[in-house]
Amino acid sequence: METWSTNHQKELTARLLVRVKSLAAAIAGKLGRRPVIMEVCGTHTVALARTGLRSLLAGCIDLRSGPGCPVCVTAPEEIDYMLCLARQPGVIIATFGDMVRVPGSSGSLEKARIEGCQIQVCYSPREAVTLARSNPDREVVFLGIGFETTAPAVGLAVKEAAALSLKNFSIYSAHKLVPPALATLAADPDLKLDGLLLPGHVSAILGRRAFTFLAREYNLPAAIAGFDALDILGALLELLLQIQKGEAQVNNAYPRVVSETGNHKAQEILREVFSLAPANWRGLGLIPLSGLKLNTAYEAFDASHRWRLELKPAPPPAGCLCGSVLKGLCLPPQCALFGRRCTPLRPVGPCMVSSEGSCAAYYRYAREAG
């Protein structure tokens, strides 16, 4: 049913769209090219495609997708480690569903399940704790994938396992932190970003202040955005206004959810359970202090301590441009495998698997874009 508010919202969105387009055109005139804006959140990537915003803005803004999907940024060697864990006798792997189909150098978890390995899809890390309790004679390993948004829930699961003195539960922490990755992108001379659309969910945990270094140290305009068309357009407008004025700030265009200093309780859990560690990102390489490993107090729940597996570094799948896609250096349809050898049913790279992956979003919503 149409209500006053939906009508009002529609009108507002249409007006914002006109403003964003004309401002972007003015900037393009000045720069001699379209302004380059990166969205660093998989949910934004999907929302831009689903609402049609990406195609509406195609002529005015050069929108690039960044490393905003936790599954996609998981490095090939981390995937191989997970596969190797799955093949250890007596192990049950508990994981989010997206991970099951990501290919590593010796197949995927899905393939491992067909071989007879036990892979259990969970929707919350605490389910994995329950799984460990009901399988006392097995080792349950939860695959900890995700950013600041998921890590606190994994932290809680670890605390719960510790409180229960569970001996057969551990996590493999492949968590990644968003701000260090953004610093890497901001410093990349090949990228020439004019602005960053910051992730609403991660910002809700970290708070606006955690991103101010982007403006301060890299002179890069940024705006935190929510997830509907109105939210995204509002944030884009703020970004474009900054770019036009030649300013660099970090705007909070999602104040109904994101505060200045974020969610203290979640931050507290992160500090208590994890400490910072270097992390290997697909596409971006090794970034210092951009990952989370379990604190010494919780080391007993660290799967990488329990299974010290020697693995050779894994090359990315041949022909896959996931690395460049994640850095915003190319768009998914520019990969020669896109839609041909690589589809959601037979993915070559993780960007085609995850519901948040850029390649999957393009495949689902704009297959002919390239």
**Rounded CA gap, 286 and 281, in Å?**
6
Inter-residue contact 304 to 81 (CB < 8 Å):
yes
Q: What angle do CA 197, 348, 317 make, to 5 degrees?
A: 95
Angle between helices 151-163 and 264-273 (to 10 degrees): 60
**Rounded CA gap, 66 and 282, in Å?**
12
Does residue 154 touch other proteins according to CB under 8 A? no
Given candidates 35, 104, 146, 207, which one binds other proteins under the rule CB under 8 A?
146
Does residue 76 touch ligand SF4 according to CB under 6 A? no
Tell me whether residue 205 or residue 321 sits nearer to ligand SF4 (CB atom): 321
Does residue 335 touch ligand SF4 according to CB under 6 A? yes
Q: Which helix (H) or strand (E) holds 49?
A: helix 42-51
Given candidates 263, 332, 354, 366, which one binds ligand SF4 under the rule CB under 6 A?
332
Tell me whether residue 125 or residue 349 sits nearer to ligand SF4 (CB atom): 349
349, interface contact from other proteins, ligand SF4, none, CB < 5-8 Å by kind: ligand SF4
Among residues 200, 190, 195, which one has the least CA distance to residue 245? 195
Q: What angle do CA 265, 269, 273 make, to 5 degrees?
A: 170
**Rounded CA gap, 322 and 331, in Å?**
10
Tokens standing for residue 16: 């914002």
Question: In this chain, which stretch among 17-25, 102-110, 264-272, 314-322 interacts with ligand SF4, using CB under 6 A?
Answer: 314-322
Site for other proteins in 80-119 (CB under 8 A): 96-98, 101
149, interface contact from other proteins, ligand SF4, none, CB < 5-8 Å by kind: other proteins
282, interface contact from other proteins, ligand SF4, none, CB < 5-8 Å by kind: none
CB of 133 to other proteins, least distance (A): 17
Tokens standing for residue 220: 């890069």
Would you give the end-to-end CA distance of the chain in angstroms? 37
Interface contacts to ligand SF4, rule CB under 6 A: 320-322, 325, 332, 335, 337-338, 342, 348-349, 351-352, 359
Interface contacts to other proteins, rule CB under 8 A: 10, 13-14, 17, 41-43, 46, 49-53, 55-56, 69-71, 96-98, 101, 123, 145-147, 149-150, 201-202, 227, 229, 343-345, 354-356, 363-368
